[in-house]
Structure 1
């Protein structure tokens, strides 16, 4: 308590005594005994009121003994079971939990990881992927300001994420890997990787690349075969030795039939192979009989055009052609969608031909757009542009219902450049992205879509979106989010299909180690997205005839279902709306591929390098006692005494109020009893 506060308390006491004496000691008519009682009660009341106003406080200091943390990260993926290590994990965890000396020294917490990182409650060893890097990074963030040696229980075989060995440079705490499995190298032939297109055009050849690897010391010969049903469509002999442990095969297959074509690639196993699961792999290609052709017309050169091409051609069913206005007029009819980048008066013939052919269009405007020409060349929109420019950002309209749009973080993307002015859209439209300046919408659309008598158009008012694609890669280490956004926009604009009240989006085939999701949108009779309805999907296994119904969950402006619980096979589905006679059907195939079954043993050398990089040490699961003793005996891990200072009131205000009420009540009752009231 400060000296100033003490002086205030003394002054409050003096004032209270003085007032009490003045009231009951100076010319008071009461008896002496009553004067003393009233004087004391009045002193208590006044002094309590003054103390309540002064509110004196004390500093309270407490000491806390904090143990060093010991996070235990447990690999919950299927490869642990494939290597027969479940029992070793169970025994190791039991020893950690039962060792009283270790638990007295450390605050131990348990986490499991596979696809994701989470607190451990139960272990299933059924997760289809292993992301060791994410687990270590999450633990490092969780305990970044604390002493927290980390026990990593894993086989070291990662199937997802960044390379954990090279990420270890950023880890602050020591890591002690516990190796599940052995370091013995078995003789093994394996399909390490298979690359092919998801789509191919009818009557064309599509490329296949296969990487084969061999583990062993003796020279071996085998045969690589690709089959479609009972027929072999490709075969070749392969040989390996101790010095030649890998081969890359490049070949092409013919796309002779429309639809999903399934293949099986196999390298014939050796007689003494332990793991034959990794000798074969299924893959599929969807053969289509036509492509979506997109024509981009531009008079200028701009980075946006490169970003457009990359994003659109990510889907191999789409092609992009660039032409100048003078070259484009005669070929417009060969394309499903025409993109007009920053048109000026040289586009006059192009707009005239588009009107005759009733072509779908996407107009990009920016600082080099001639708005005086553009306003007169079409009737869908108009902008009162000035010579000034404006930098605008995007805000996703959550009520946009024409098709499902994922928010890729539009409000955090770099600003686009546009001519300053009001953009008015006169045709029936839906605004997908709104313009914002300093986080406030300015009332102008940045991207809006229009549909008039089956013809689809859009206006994108802003240049510089190539930075959006670059920012998407920086934040997610992938262009996929931006490319998917552009792909969905192109898919909608390139189609002349009339709109249905129930739109369902699904892939033709999925791999069962990847997310299996189907999305749908349902609109009311005015074609406004309806988020109040209940949608269900009925999935039927074509082989067993088993039918399962799943509810579809609402996600912003679309419904979605996750079907990862389904086994590999062929399925048909029907999406229906409760209390509505509306449904949509389709089919898909789930291809069997378990990446966790591809491993023969633990990646011991990599786990040892991880331990070395973080100044830890690697142990095998059978060396649990050695690890526990090393942690207990390490003098670097000591309890930390932390002081915690709190400022608390000298007297609680509730107690002071109660004392004031009691003093006043007592004085009133005494006065009443003695007939003074």
Structure 2
């Protein structure tokens, strides 16, 4: 407490005493007990009021010791078990967690990583993919402003994601890799990579590219085979040597039947080869009997046209052709969907033919669209003409019912240029996206679909959708999310199927190392998404005849079930609603492939480089005795003493108010009781 405040308190006490004596002073030689009580109560009231005004405070200083964090990041992928390192890892974790010196110096935090990154003190070594760089990205957010040396326990084999070798540029902590696995180089043959399209067309030949790699010093002969069931459909003799240790084989196979065809590529193992799992790779191709042809009609060049072509043709089942408003007239029946970009009076004949032929089409309305012409040629919607433009962002309509729409973070996308003014529909429509300005919804449609007279139509009230595709890549490091969204929209508009109350989204086949997620939507009789329904999926293995039933979990605006636990096989399934007699069936195949079992050795070079870049040190799992000593004795990692200063009032104002009220009340009641009032 400051000296100045203490003086004020003393002066307040003196003033309170003087005022109390002054009010009850008389010329009698002695003062009565009653007057003394009144004097004391008045002193208490005045002194409390003055203390309330002075509000005396004092500082409370507390000290605490903050230890640095020791992060232990553990590779939880199945490659650790495949390399027979799981027991060694568990023993090392126990050793680090229970060491007294480490616990005295650090706060030890355990994390596991593989496909996902999470805080955990248990390991299963069961994850099918490894993304080490993602683990460092997550840790950089958690320990951004703290000291956190990191022990990375891994074989260094990453199956997807950015290269982690230079993670030290963003993760500003010292990294101590503990290298798992054998560093001895064995003679090995493997299929390094196999490239093939997911789709082909009936009576065509589809291309395959295979990269074969040999590790060894001797010259060997082997054979590369591709089999379908028990039939060999391709074979080639291969010769490797120490100098000529890789081969690229390009060939084609015929597609003679509609549906999914499974194949197995194999390079015949050599004698005494240690890892034979990476000698084979399964793949599948779906053969379809027709290709969806889409015409994009525009009389001027715009970046949106290229973005739409890229997104639509990301699915091999679809092709895009660019035409102008005159060229399309004689070819209109060659296409399943017509995309009309910013129509004007030159499109009059085209729009009349689309209506007459009852053809599905999609219209893009932008700043160059002739709204007067469009209003006169359309009867389903009208644009208010203001001759002004506005930029609108997208807001997803979670109740959209015709097909499944995933939220790909539309609100982060740049605004589209659009015409300012209301749009009024004369028929029922389903908005996928609504307009918003500065985060405020306008309840105006931005992207809609509707059905009329048996045909499907869509309208986008904005241009520069190419910026959305670019932003989607920035958000997810891939075009896949945006391309899938456009693909679903095009698939719906190009089809003439009727609405269904139960929609299912799944792939015809899955790789054994990928997530197997089946999605579904259920709608009530008014085609409003129904969250009250319970959906179950019954999955039957067609080979073993084993049947399993799983519940679908409500997540965001759809139901989902993760079937990644199913072993490779061919499955038939039925999704059924429990409250109503509605069900849908389908089938898919899980291919046998585990990318984590393709590795034979630890990636020593990258892990050692990672340690060097981060000013850390690498250790082999069989020689970690010095790891603890190095961490404990490193002077860069020291505890920090922190002080916390709190300013606390001497007396809480609530208590002072209570004392004032109590003393004044007592004085009043005593005076009243004694007839002095």
Q: Residues 588 and 3 from structure 1, CA distance in 2 versus in 1: closer, same or farther, beyond 3 angstroms?
A: same
Query: Which stretch of the first structure deviates more once superposed, 183-192 or 524-533?
Result: 524-533
CA distance in 1, matches of 2:626, 2:633: 10
Q: Residues 26 and 441 from structure 1, CA distance in 2 versus in 1: closer, same or farther, beyond 3 angstroms?
A: farther
CA distance in 1, matches of 2:29, 2:504: 95
Alpha-carbon distance, 1:665 to partner:
6.9
Instruction: Assess if the C-alpha contact under 8 Å between 2:180 and 2:602 holds in 1.
Output: yes
CA distance in 2, matches of 1:444, 1:503: 26
CA distance in 2, matches of 1:140, 1:83: 29
Alpha-carbon distance, 1:404 to partner:
1.5
Alpha-carbon distance, 1:59 to partner:
2.7
Alpha-carbon distance, 1:141 to partner:
2.2
For 2:115, the equivalent position in structure 1 comes to 115
For 2:95, the equivalent position in structure 1 comes to 95
For 1:390, the equivalent position in structure 2 comes to 390
For 2:81, the equivalent position in structure 1 comes to 81
- Please, what TM-score do these two structures have when normalized by structure 1? 0.96
CA distance in 2, matches of 1:19, 1:550: 84
Alpha-carbon distance, 1:440 to partner:
2.1
CA distance in 1, matches of 2:610, 2:106: 23
Query: Which stretch of the first structure deviates more once superposed, 524-533 or 310-319?
Result: 524-533
Instruction: Assess if the C-alpha contact under 8 Å between 1:292 and 1:317 holds in 2.
Output: yes
For 1:504, the equivalent position in structure 2 comes to 504
For 1:175, the equivalent position in structure 2 comes to 175
Residues 624-663 of structure 1 aligned to structure 2 (within 5 Å): 624-657=624-657, 659-660=659-660, 663=663
CA distance in 2, matches of 1:484, 1:155: 34
Q: Residues 553 and 26 from structure 1, CA distance in 2 versus in 1: closer, same or farther, beyond 3 angstroms?
A: farther
Q: Residues 81 and 39 from structure 1, CA distance in 2 versus in 1: closer, same or farther, beyond 3 angstroms?
A: same
Q: Deviations over 1:494-524 (max 9, x none)?
A: 1101112111121111112211111111121
Residues 477-516 of structure 1 aligned to structure 2 (within 5 Å): 477-516=477-516
For 1:233, the equivalent position in structure 2 comes to 233
Instruction: Assess if the C-alpha contact under 8 Å between 1:570 and 1:590 holds in 2.
Output: yes
Instruction: Assess if the C-alpha contact under 8 Å between 2:58 and 2:649 holds in 1.
Output: yes
- Asked if residue 198 in structure 1 is aligned to residue 198 in structure 2, the reply is yes
Instruction: Assess if the C-alpha contact under 8 Å between 2:402 and 2:500 holds in 1.
Output: no
Q: Residues 98 and 380 from structure 1, CA distance in 2 versus in 1: closer, same or farther, beyond 3 angstroms?
A: same
Query: Which stretch of the first structure deviates more once superposed, 402-411 or 460-469?
Result: 402-411
Instruction: Assess if the C-alpha contact under 8 Å between 1:395 and 1:433 holds in 2.
Output: yes
CA distance in 2, matches of 1:58, 1:465: 62
For 2:616, the equivalent position in structure 1 comes to 616
Alpha-carbon distance, 1:573 to partner:
1.0
- The count of aligned residue pairs is 677
Alpha-carbon distance, 1:6 to partner:
5.4
Alpha-carbon distance, 1:673 to partner:
8.4
CA distance in 2, matches of 1:456, 1:489: 11
Query: Which stretch of the first structure deviates more once superposed, 552-561 or 489-498?
Result: 552-561
Q: Deviations over 1:371-410 (max 9, x none)?
A: 1111111211111223222111111112222222112121
Superposition RMSD in Å: 2.2
Q: Residues 671 and 180 from structure 1, CA distance in 2 versus in 1: closer, same or farther, beyond 3 angstroms?
A: farther
For 2:343, the equivalent position in structure 1 comes to 343
Q: Residues 622 and 333 from structure 1, CA distance in 2 versus in 1: closer, same or farther, beyond 3 angstroms?
A: same
Secondary structure of 1:40's aligned partner: helix
Alpha-carbon distance, 1:49 to partner:
4.1
Instruction: Assess if the C-alpha contact under 8 Å between 1:400 and 1:557 holds in 2.
Output: no
Q: Residues 447 and 4 from structure 1, CA distance in 2 versus in 1: closer, same or farther, beyond 3 angstroms?
A: farther
Secondary structure of 2:328's aligned partner: helix
Alpha-carbon distance, 1:46 to partner:
3.6
Alpha-carbon distance, 1:227 to partner:
0.3
Residues 33-182 of structure 1 aligned to structure 2 (within 5 Å): 33-52=33-52, 54-182=54-182
For 1:598, the equivalent position in structure 2 comes to 598
Q: Residues 28 and 631 from structure 1, CA distance in 2 versus in 1: closer, same or farther, beyond 3 angstroms?
A: farther
For 1:553, the equivalent position in structure 2 comes to 553
Alpha-carbon distance, 1:23 to partner:
4.0
Q: Residues 6 and 360 from structure 1, CA distance in 2 versus in 1: closer, same or farther, beyond 3 angstroms?
A: farther
Secondary structure of 1:408's aligned partner: coil
Query: Which stretch of the first structure deviates more once superposed, 468-477 or 522-531?
Result: 522-531
CA distance in 2, matches of 1:369, 1:28: 104
For 1:293, the equivalent position in structure 2 comes to 293
Query: Which stretch of the first structure deviates more once superposed, 38-47 or 81-90?
Result: 38-47
Q: Residues 92 and 23 from structure 1, CA distance in 2 versus in 1: closer, same or farther, beyond 3 angstroms?
A: same
Residues 234-273 of structure 1 aligned to structure 2 (within 5 Å): 234-273=234-273
Q: Deviations over 1:459-479 (max 9, x none)?
A: 101111101111111121111
CA distance in 1, matches of 2:647, 2:119: 35
Secondary structure of 1:561's aligned partner: strand
Residues 178-577 of structure 1 aligned to structure 2 (within 5 Å): 178-577=178-577
Query: Which stretch of the first structure deviates more once superposed, 549-558 or 340-349?
Result: 549-558
CA distance in 1, matches of 2:29, 2:491: 99
Q: Deviations over 1:212-264 (max 9, x none)?
A: 11111111111110000010111111122212222111111111110010000
Alpha-carbon distance, 1:48 to partner:
2.8
Instruction: Assess if the C-alpha contact under 8 Å between 1:28 and 1:35 holds in 2.
Output: no
Q: Residues 15 and 587 from structure 1, CA distance in 2 versus in 1: closer, same or farther, beyond 3 angstroms?
A: farther
- Please, what TM-score do these two structures have when normalized by structure 2? 0.96
CA distance in 2, matches of 1:16, 1:413: 69
Q: Structure 2: where are the runs of 5+ without partners? A: none
Q: Residues 264 and 34 from structure 1, CA distance in 2 versus in 1: closer, same or farther, beyond 3 angstroms?
A: same
CA distance in 2, matches of 1:674, 1:666: 12
Q: Deviations over 1:110-150 (max 9, x none)?
A: 11111111112211111111111111222222112122211
Secondary structure of 1:404's aligned partner: coil
Q: Deviations over 1:33-72 (max 9, x none)?
A: 2322332233223433443455433332222211122111
Q: Deviations over 1:510-569 (max 9, x none)?
A: 112211111111121122222221111111121222222211122233211111121111
CA distance in 1, matches of 2:614, 2:573: 51
